[in-house]
Amino acid sequence: MTRNPPPVIAVISNRNSGHNRDRLGAVAAALDGDPRFRHFITDAAEDVPGVLATLAGTPLRLLVINGGDGTAAAVFAQLFAHFSPSDLPLLALLPGGTANMTAGDVGIRGSLHVALGRLQAWAAAGGATEGLTVERHVLRVAVGAQPPHYGMFLGAGVIMQGTAYAHRELHARGLRDDFSLGLGMVRTLWGLVRRDPEFWQPLPVAVRSDAGAELRCDALILAVSTLDRLFLCLRPFWGKGTGPLKWSLIESRARRLLGRFPGILRGRPGRAVVPDAGYHSHRATRITLEMDGRFNLDGEIVAVSRAEGPVVITAAGPLRFLRL
């Protein structure tokens, strides 16, 4: 009589993610001594398909992603490409990257060391999942003839200038996680208030969604996400509706941005933050963007042009995550 192999907990670690660069040795040592886990160390997103091919046919109790937002997005893309919706595994995220915004919403809490300890304690206690899982959709972003891109946060406009500043001035100095993102946001906002040319670069864009009429404007900030909260527990989406895609846009003509920004970040913008004043927020199931420029999708910088056709954003999933 042939017995079915027991379900395994597989861990995919990105060696080059922010925290893993100096802590992966300790992670590997902890996992290699625990028979409940199979640990795979990758060097780039191109390694992920090989790992999943190795796991093909193996009953997965849990698939753990140890990396940053980009690593998680790379795994999501491969899961949607090779798994049917009914076969998608339960996921867990460890904060092994630089920003870790996705892990902050749906991942295992604490630093990388603390989160790994929580995960191993959960496995040792039998791995119960009741009351410990959450679901999130993933952004599916189609750009012309390119293969679809996946992620949980898309930013354009000044977010691109803020990203460049954070990489150059903060991440290069070893600053990571919410602290670095918060510093970058404050510097970016100050640049907008002062109309510093490094940051004040409005983006001409046309936005259409099933939540309302077409919007054509010069955008200072454009954000789309399926996360419930961003870094520092920010929730800059206040639009009504039930769609899984949340998007907010602030036009270059918007006034009193500095005074209104704290309320916007909490999702409580106040009565003056309305479309007529240049502030927009909605929930939708489909969004299209027409623009010439770039956007940031979970750390991946994607260049687009109107000549390629619209950027089409829909929801994939949902995926289930173990939240400890």
Q: Higher confidence at residue 318 or residue 146?
A: 318
What tens digit of pLDDT does each residue of 237-276 get?
999 888 999 999 999 999 898 899 999 999 999 999 999 9
* CATH at residue 70: 3.40.50.10330
Q: Mark whether 27 and 121 lie in a shared domain.
A: yes
CA separation for the pair 196, 82 (Å, rounded)? 46
> Is there a domain that residue 307 lies in?
no
Domain range for residue 107?
A: 8-137
Q: Mark whether 185 and 117 lie in a shared domain.
A: no
What tens digit of pLDDT does each residue of 28-44 get?
999 998 899 999 999 98
Q: How many domains does the chain have?
A: 2
Q: Are strands 60-67 and 8-14 parallel, antiparallel or unpaired?
A: parallel
Of the candidates 93, 83, 90, 76, the residue with the CA atom closest to the CA atom of residue 56 = 83
What tens digit of pLDDT does each residue of 178-203 get?
777 788 888 888 888 889 888 899 99
Query: What integer pLDDT is reported at residue 3 of this predicted model?
Result: 58
Reported as type and span, the H/E element at residue 155 is strand 153-157
> Is there a domain that residue 192 lies in?
yes
> Is there a domain that residue 316 lies in?
no
Q: Tell me if the pTM is above 0.85.
A: yes
Confidence label for 282 from pLDDT (cuts 50, 70 and 90): very high
Q: Mark whether 272 and 179 lie in a shared domain.
A: yes
CA separation for the pair 188, 179 (Å, rounded)? 14
> Is there a domain that residue 322 lies in?
no
| Backbone φ, ψ for residue 153 (5° rounding) | -145, 125
Q: Mark whether 182 and 246 lie in a shared domain.
A: yes
Q: Give the residue from 137, 165, 189 where a domain finishes.
A: 137
